Amino acid sequence: MRLNTFYSYLLITIASIASGCNADKPADDQHSGKHAVDDSKSAAHQTLAVSPDKRFLTTADGKPFFWLGDTAWLLFSKLGREEADKYLEDRKQKGFNVIQVMLLHSVSSTNVYQDLSLVGANVAKPALTAGNDFKNDEAYDYWDHVDYIIDKAAEKGLYMALVPVWGSNVKDKKVKAPDAKLYAEFLAKRYRERWNIIWLDGGDIKGCDGMEVWTTIGETLRKNDPNHLITFHPRGRTASSQWFHQAAWSDFNMIQSGHRRYDQDTSKNEKLHYGEDNWRYIEADYQLKPVKPTIDGEPSYEGIPQGLHDTLQPRWTAADVRRYGYWSVFAGAFGYTYGHNSVMQFYKKTDKKFSYGPKEEWTTAINASGATQMKYLKDLMLSRSYFDRVPDQTLIAGKNGLKYERLVATRGKDYVMVYTYTGRTISLNMGKIAGDQVKASWFNPRDGKTTLIGEVDNAGTHQFDPPGKAANGNDWVLLLDKI
């Protein structure tokens, strides 16, 4: 009988590393993003696809899919079965539908049961035991445990966004392209029949740090698994589009806006230098050709020190993660990924090694305010017509604010939404939707409740004053609906 023993894992490194990285070069063709699906399954339980206009994701039958992700990087390594069940059920109940997790944190990874992931730390040699099955409590290996968690997530309607191998392993020359090809073939063939898989190539890394390996993994996954979406999880304050926008295997773009404050973003050599303005990354991706969906796959985590490494720095709060969410989605993203310092590493007080000074165990942190508030963003975006939504900053009358004062606007055919982080006055150009008058309301991102303002004239400019005193975190969404 196995004992649950402590798994000592490597420190997660997210800090910026300067390097001369070039953008991608055009590929010969562009993968359409339209993948085959298993029509025998219900619509909610089918492989995702890119929408016809290439801006959103859909379920197999064309229904809207708003990606609400949670970062659970060390799920396969740190949690046993019962703990994994508890975590997945909690995320289901809180409205999350995508779990971002790494298959290999390091090439010497083991899980909580002391099962080794690879033979000789070689990705080409997964440690498999013939005849083992996770359904047998006394006989299963590392990959059987991964299977168990993926299938348990499927039971709960959750998609698993899988990072094959964390980027630091490739940067440190521990993974070679020929071995990566064999490993990607193994993964694709093992999981291509499961409906709830999304592939995240990379893993907190610039595409140019191991370009041959990342391209090999992406191309091999696509060749052997035509049914699942693929993207690249990049380094902090970078976007996958810098290297892979034209790649035939990449279905959508992902940014990592990162964990630094405006004054901490001093990496002058970076192509993108936006500070906390994650909406700028989305706006940049939105203008690229060919059109691809885009998302912030790692903004600042709730409960993590600002800037990451100095645990005496202030911590990012629920208000901050709300701001990143509404800013990015209203700027054109198809969804949003939330994260918490304690949850992403499944911190326990008995851990001897951990990252970024977590202050509470993961079992408590899953109930952090930001985690409970993310569903309100998802519910709001699904409450109105979906595929006609576009970002539209021409709605904002006069001069927009900078940094936290920034207003970000989006609209559909029959509605307008404007987000303010500070509760500042919103001056709006009316007449963007039909009707002599429109119904105006305030939506509260903290509790998901809507308060009616009334009917207002739909011409000229109009000022709307949110409830409460203007201050950081007094955030509101102005809603205008066609009558």
- CA nearest neighbour of 381 among 428, 328, 423: 328
Q: Is there a contact between 365 and 339 (Cβ–Cβ < 8 Å)?
A: no
Strands 426-429, 461-464: pairing kind: antiparallel
pLDDT at 267 over 60: yes
Instruction: State the Cα–Cα distance between residues 4 and 482, nearest whole angstrom.
Output: 58
Instruction: Give the pLDDT mean for 65-73.
Output: 98
Q: Is there a contact between 384 and 412 (Cβ–Cβ < 8 Å)?
A: yes
Instruction: Give the pLDDT mean for 18-47.
Output: 43
**What are the residue boundaries of the structural domains of the chain, listed by start?**
43-382, 392-482
Q: State the pLDDT at residue 12.
A: 32
Instruction: State the Cα–Cα distance between residues 184 and 186, nearest whole angstrom.
Output: 5
CA angle 25, 30, 33 (to 5 degrees): 130
Instruction: Give the Å distances, CA to CA, from 216 to 176, 177, 179, 212.
Output: 10, 6, 10, 6
Q: State the pLDDT at residue 269.
A: 62
Tens of pLDDT, residue by residue over 226-246, are 999 999 999 999 999 999 999
Instruction: State the Cα–Cα distance between residues 374 and 95, nearest whole angstrom.
Output: 8
pLDDT at 268 over 70: no
Instruction: State the Cα–Cα distance between residues 248 and 33, nearest whole angstrom.
Output: 9
Q: State the pLDDT at residue 273.
A: 77
Please give the share of the chain, as a percent, with pLDDT higher than 70.
Answer: 88
Q: State the pLDDT at residue 33.
A: 34
Q: State the pLDDT at residue 395.
A: 98
Q: Is there a contact between 102 and 344 (Cβ–Cβ < 8 Å)?
A: no
Q: State the pLDDT at residue 272.
A: 67
pLDDT at 26 over 90: no
152-157 long-range contacts, CB within 8 A, separation 24+:
152/84, 152/85, 152/88, 153/88, 153/99, 153/196, 154/45, 154/194, 154/195, 154/196, 156/88, 156/89, 156/92, 157/44, 157/45, 157/92, 157/97
- List the end-to-end C-alpha distance of the chain, in Å, as a whole number: 66
pLDDT at 366 over 80: yes
Write down the CATH number for the domain with range 43-382. Answer: 3.20.20.80
Q: Is the dihedral of CA 326, 327, 328, 334 positive or negative?
A: positive
Q: State the pLDDT at residue 130.
A: 82
Average pLDDT over all residues of the chain: 91
| Confidence band, pLDDT 50/70/90 cuts, at residue 25 | very low
Instruction: State the Cα–Cα distance between residues 157 and 195, nearest whole angstrom.
Output: 10
* CATH match of 392-482 with 3.30.1380: no
Least confident residue range of 153-162, 262-271, 360-369 = 262-271
> Residue 417 contacts by C-beta under 8 Å, 6 or more apart in sequence?
330, 380, 409, 410, 411, 443, 477, 478, 479, 480
pLDDT at 34 over 90: no
More confident residue, 127 or 8: 127
Instruction: Give the pLDDT mean for 458-473.
Output: 98
